[in-house]
Amino acid sequence: MNAPLPAHLLPDMAKRETPAALVDALKSRFSDRCSTALVVREQHGRDESSFAAPPPAAVVFAESTLEVADAVKLAAQYNVPVIPFGVGTSLEGHLLAIQGGISIDVSRMNKVLSINAEDLTVTVQPGVTRKQLNEEIKSTGLFFPIDPGADATLGGMSATRASGTNAVRYGTMRENVLALQVVTASGEVIRTGTRAKKSSAGYDLTRLMVGSEGTLGVITEVTVKLYPLPEAISAAICSFPSIEAAVRTTIEVIQLGVPIARVELIDHNTVRMVNKHSKLTLREEPMLLMEFHGTPGSVKEQAELVQELASNHGGNAFEWASTPEERTRLWTARHNAYFAAIQSRPGCRAISTDTCVPISRLADCLLESVAEVDASGIPYFLVGHVGDGNFHFGYLINPDDPAERAAAEVLNHKLVSRALALEGTCTGEHGVGLHKMDFLVTEAGDGAVNMMRTIKRALDPKNIMNPGKIFSI
């Protein structure tokens, strides 16, 4: 059972009526692509977060930008909330219809519109997922590196400013989205940015939309950067005597400027869960899972240097996954850590944390937090994009035990406070959604959050675009 929304969100929950006239108008415009079936609405009224809210009143399956614009215009006319929906992998309650309204499902807008291989760019509809994109561009010798684990849509990844395992080398959606097409709160279609690699042409609306979590408009096209597939790729795992040893190694790798493509921490708990789930026999110790991209010479150089740093901290010899199949198996295991963890405690829910700190603070932040969770007795997994200073605890709670839920919230609260005191952020890549609204105020301050509110009010005066997320109005 998911939890009711916390009390502080209740003022935003004042459910706005979705008039029958709007649903009629949507049905008339979209016929059977506007659904009011409970099962469809419920599927669109939840995500991977642990909150519960009533489902949206209707779901529109849009197939074009024009259709999105029409649906938004109708919603605006009736002053009803609009919640964009991709494939539902949000972890922070972004998709919950906490003020009622309609869900606009863009998963059928899943065409790759133009591949400009010579420019290393591609333009896609928002429902294209990252795996689909990489499949469709395979023949070009290019790839799209952003990999948040889940096979999320490019629209959703833009909306939450997602990143993941490759960000340490290739950046996040912030660095990789070049241009967008957006349906605004009034149903107007605008374009932000161009395919030029850089620009000083006015306000950076692209980056204002990236990370705006559906609260400023519906993203209907995304142009992102691509990268040449590296000539050589090698993946290696290295076990360490302690989390601290793994983290100290990572810090040195980053401080020396090694262009490592991936460096993921997996703690011994999680290795155990992953072994069981993916039938692997990884050494059940804290480990780093690394990937090196480059020419054969530079990959060798990087790996030798990192191996040396790891040895200085008691790391074991690298175990290499040199074939694509072995690499895929390792990364699949990493990506399945979340599900492996969930299965380790039947019936549990995971409450995920997402702090990110400057790299020199990583050891302090992580080790104190590990000690705290260990002391609490709550089972957990721990994985981290540690090269970026970003890591996730997943507290595996019994959702029917309010005491466990409360204990997890206390742990999260302590963790976030620690990260903020160390000049970090409450969310490295998941977004604020419903869960981190208070933390955002602590992190950014009233002044900055009020500036966000002012922008929101100006661009969405009726407060219909995914209202009640990021901050209360």
H or E stretch covering 325:
helix 324-335
Count interface residues toward a second copy (CB under 8 A): 91
Q: Tell me if 7 contacts a second copy by CB under 8 A.
A: no
User: Which CB, 58 or 260, lies closer to a second copy?
Assistant: 260
Residue 1: CB atoms within 10 A of its CB come to 9
Does residue 466 bind a second copy (CB under 8 A)? no
CB of 69 to a second copy, least distance (A): 11
CB of 33 to a second copy, least distance (A): 26
Beta carbon of residue 314, minimum distance to a second copy (angstroms, whole number):
21
Judged by CB under 8 A, the chain residues 362 through 391 that form the site for a second copy are: 388-390
Between 75 and 251, whose beta carbon lies closer to a second copy?
251
Sign (positive/negative) of CA torsion 43, 47, 48, 50? Answer: negative
Strands 121-124, 102-105: parallel, antiparallel or unpaired by DSSP? unpaired
| Closest approach of a second copy to the CB of residue 219, in Å | 14
Q: Which of 1, 20, 32, 200 binds a second copy (CB under 8 A)?
A: 200
Q: Determine the Cα–Cα distance for residues 32 and 98; give it in Å rounded to an integer.
A: 25
Residues contacting residue 329 through CB under 8 Å, at least 6 positions apart: 278, 280, 321
**By CB under 8 A, is residue 218 in contact with a second copy?**
no
Nearer to a second copy, 92 or 285 (CB): 92
Percent helix, strand and coil across the chain, each to the nearest 5:
40, 20, 35
Residue ranges in 96-125 that form contacts with a second copy under rule CB under 8 A: 116, 118-121
C-alpha separations of 261 from 198, 256, 257, 266 in Å? 23, 14, 12, 16
Q: Which of 1, 20, 32, 257 binds a second copy (CB under 8 A)?
A: 257
160, 35, 149, 165: which is closest to 103 by C-alpha?
35
Which string of x and - marks every residue 386-425 that binds a second copy (by CB under 8 A)? --xxx-----------------------------x--xxx
3-class DSSP state of 416: helix
Stretch that binds a second copy, among 55-63, 97-105, 223-231, 269-277 (CB under 8 A): 223-231
